[in-house]
Structure 1
Amino acid sequence: MGIAGEQKQQMGRASTFIYEWNFKNPFFFSSNEVLICRNYKGDVDMSEIDHFLPLLTQQEEEGLTCPVISHGNVHFMWIKHSNLYLVATTNKNSNASLVYSFLYKLVEVFTEYFKELEEESIQDNFVVVYELLDELMDFGFPQTTDSKILQEYITQEGNKLEVAKTKVPTTVTNAVSWRSEGIKYKKNEVFIDVIESINVLVNANGNVMSSDIVGSIKLKTMLSGMPELRLGLNDRVLFALTGRDKGKTVAMEDVKFHQCVRLSRFESDRTISFIPPDGESELMSYRINTHVKPLIWIESVIEKFSHSRVEIMVKAKGQFKKQSVANNVEVRVPVPSDADSPKFKTSTGHAKYVPEKNLVVWTIKSFPGGKEFLMRAHFGLPSVENDEAEGKPPITVKFEIPYFTVSGIQVRYMKIIEKSGYQALPWVRYITQSGDYQLRTNT
């Protein structure tokens, strides 16, 4: 099944289609039916969508994958999610970034409503889908795209839709569209999660080829009324502006904010000032391009004996401060595809063979900083294979370290100002986790 949306300038003039098809083989369809469609402006012939799947199939046969496919003067911009295609068509010089942003927003909203966006969820919720398409876009212009706001007046019970009769939610009409008025809590609190993911690539000689930190600050706000929040970080630019360039500071790049943040205020004096959404939200994301010392260092020795057996020794060392502990560590070690009869010995944790992925997964529930652990594995090799000198998969590592950030970013303060004058408690939690964390081997 697929979804195809037809959109043009402005976002533009748009229609939305949903197909169903079944593959007889990777390149031929036994059916190609439009399941659902929404035409917003009607200046592209609805039949044009019939050309999309044949053109896509032709591209795949030629070994090509392009996000934009053209037929005459009509262009198809598409994304794939699960067993669906979402497609937008245009015959104008459209803003492609806006179109793709809208398509991904459709996926996000539908997933919030149906938990899983797939063929069955569309078929079971036609009415809700139509209502959402009407609210998400009006005459080619994106409108309300926040799922929390939509859920205030488009609600779902089973397959039934309930629309508030005459009441228009305040989130649609007030200046703060992401927050309703009249919110009340017995206990006012804000939970702040600073989460950093470490991306590291280490070559076979033990040198760090690339590394960076991708971070986000997530909020869970349980505050009454319309509070004004001000967040202070140890931002290097802010400290330089105020002449307080002392202590540990962080230079953030590619900073992106939730729409609630006053960008003009941040650009003028680096103040992060905002009226928060109620409940959970991502306030901001950032990237820090810096040399990162691998937090968990891996050394491996893989020995093959006359193509009859292979022995693997892996040593893992925690290269972070001793006061911290990495939780749920997974070291994934590639093994030959013809390996069998696994035997393991570990100094801590447990190891298991995952034959469908040709991996040994060594799991350590709690890994204190500064500690070293060993894992030995023995496999039989029943067949004779040529050594794979190139293209050997790297060792990958997954982990999570609470109460710790590699960059040293800190929440210096969170000020909460509300006209009623109530006192609120901010709670801060720091988490470092693995992102794309790879260590290549030469054995």
Structure 2
Amino acid sequence: MIHSLFLINHTGDIFLEKHWKSVVSRSVCDYFFEAQEKAGEADNVPPVIPTPHHYLVSTHRDRIFFDYFGECTEAAIKDNVVIVYELLEEMLDNGFPLATESNILKELIKPPTILRSVVNTITGSSNVGDQLPTGQLSNIPWRRAGVKYTNNEAYFDVTEEIDAIIDKSGSTVFAEIQGVIDACIKLTGMPDLTLSFMNPRLLDDVSFHPCVRFKRWESERVLSFIPPDGNFRLMSYHVSSQNLVAIPVYIKHNISFRESGSTGRFDVTIGPKQTMGKTVESVLMIIHMPKGVLNMTLTAAQGTYTFDPVTKMLIWDIGKITLPKLPTLRGVISLQSTAPKPEENPTISVQFRIQQLAVSGLKVNRLDMYGERYKPFKGVKYVTKAGKFQVRT
């Protein structure tokens, strides 16, 4: 169960807190701040931090998109603080999860509009609905009754993030895939869907929306479900077998520092690899150079680069890789003449995106619908993107 919730901004200020069964002091967050200081980067903070009397479970989100407010920022939360508290009251009952479906929550608590905010201010009303949602009273609590659409549509987005560490020689030290299937279902009535895959056995570790019939998955490896109305996450999965993880880009690098003197050489090339002919887009390279580097004079064959002499951060914004010419970044590194040669070469962090490719090889075979007579529009989109993708030089 959850005792207390704290929202912390990028400066370390607690700007919202909510308590359930007991009030936990703000001082418990000091354990989180200590872990954050040790980790250096927010993504490296342990997700679970034990303390003498509690466990701190932390989640870091840079940009959150939320059904109620559009882009969810600190300012948006503060502007809608009453609705946030109302939502938390419905989502957790005495610290235990209760109503977490977005379409049920929207019936319980009306999303904010300018007109509703003005009326509530004048009349003192709240956003809480007068009636309990119909879904809460049925054996299908995630779907409201009486759903009707003029255009019946069912779309699925398969998104895979690849985490990898590549060593100096180009060999894969570590690689795994975190995947999700997000659905947008706008279907009339009470449709019963079956989604099957070409190769479901490659999924190591799966987590399903409560609507999925788990026994059917265990026996047949198909997803059978009556869907919620609208947008929801159907499933998440994990592929950890390294022989199943294809590395979609390669990087050739030659970063060297002279034993004596104040210069070094920088030469980096990136190209596509195992992309099934798909284009690699939104390519960005981030390199944290050693402290002894004063400046860098480079030439980019594609894209633009910036180097910050204070933070020592080199950022190369490449964009789309268009063959046959490969993006290269070459030039001279200026070093402090009195500083010793850097002991270690920097690590390259790479970001990229590949449309219409699931790097794991997962493919949707077909979607069948039962219980309703109309024929819906159906579609599946795939995208692969870099998670924590690092190349050691």
Q: Deviations over 1:166-211 (max 9, x none)?
A: x221122222222212222221122222222222211123321111
Matched, 1:337 2:274: no
Matched with 1:410 is 363
1:268 to 192, 195, 219: 219
Matched, 1:427 2:369: no
In 2 relative to 1, CA 354–437 (structure 1 residues): closer, same or farther, beyond 3 Å? same
Aligned length: 369
Matched with 1:77 is 55
How far, CA to CA, are the matches of 1:37 and 1:329 in structure 2?
A: 40
Matched, 1:153 2:117: no
**Mean Cα deviation higher: 254-263 or 294-303:** 294-303
- Taking structure 1 as the reference length, what is the TM-score of the superposition? 0.71
2:232 to 258, 281, 284: 281
Contact 1:324 1:368 (C-alpha < 8 Å) held by counterparts: no
How far, CA to CA, are the matches of 2:4 and 2:185 in structure 1?
A: 35
Matched with 1:302 is 255
TM-fit CA distance, 1:78: 2.7
1:395 is paired with a residue of what secondary structure? strand
In 2 relative to 1, CA 384–277 (structure 1 residues): closer, same or farther, beyond 3 Å? farther
How far, CA to CA, are the matches of 1:151 and 1:387 in structure 2?
A: 60
How far, CA to CA, are the matches of 2:365 and 2:92 in structure 1?
A: 40
Contact 1:307 1:385 (C-alpha < 8 Å) held by counterparts: no
- The amino acid across from 1:154 in the alignment is I
2:151 is paired with a residue of what secondary structure? coil
Contact 2:103 2:143 (C-alpha < 8 Å) held by counterparts: no
TM-fit CA distance, 1:284: 1.2
Q: Which structure's CA Rg is the greater one?
A: 1
Contact 2:103 2:230 (C-alpha < 8 Å) held by counterparts: no
1:135 is paired with a residue of what secondary structure? helix
2:168 is paired with a residue of what secondary structure? coil
In 2 relative to 1, CA 262–300 (structure 1 residues): closer, same or farther, beyond 3 Å? same
TM-fit CA distance, 1:405: 2.4
Matched, 1:313 2:267: yes
Matches within 5 A, 1:358-377: 358-368=312-322, 372-377=326-331
In 2 relative to 1, CA 235–422 (structure 1 residues): closer, same or farther, beyond 3 Å? same
TM-fit CA distance, 1:262: 0.8
Matched, 1:397 2:350: yes
- The amino acid across from 1:399 in the alignment is F
In 2 relative to 1, CA 425–264 (structure 1 residues): closer, same or farther, beyond 3 Å? same
TM-fit CA distance, 1:127: 3.7
2:320 is paired with a residue of what secondary structure? strand
Gaps of 5+ in 1: 1-10, 84-107, 237-249
2:361 is paired with a residue of what secondary structure? coil
Q: Deviations over 1:340-391 (max 9, x none)?
A: 454322222222224454232222222146753321133333453222324x
Matched with 2:392 is 440
Matched with 2:128 is 163
Q: Deviations over 1:221-270 (max 9, x none)?
A: 1222211111010235xxxxxxxxxxxxx521111111111112212222
Matched with 1:204 is 168
2:359 is paired with a residue of what secondary structure? coil
Gaps of 5+ in 2: 40-45, 121-125
Contact 2:281 2:354 (C-alpha < 8 Å) held by counterparts: yes
How far, CA to CA, are the matches of 1:297 and 1:342 in structure 2?
A: 23
How far, CA to CA, are the matches of 1:332 and 1:20 in structure 2?
A: 26
- Aligned-residue identity in percent: 29
1:372 is paired with a residue of what secondary structure? coil
- The amino acid across from 1:152 in the alignment is E
Matched with 1:346 is 300
How far, CA to CA, are the matches of 2:83 and 2:230 in structure 1?
A: 24
1:134 is paired with a residue of what secondary structure? helix
**Mean Cα deviation higher: 187-196 or 357-366:** 357-366
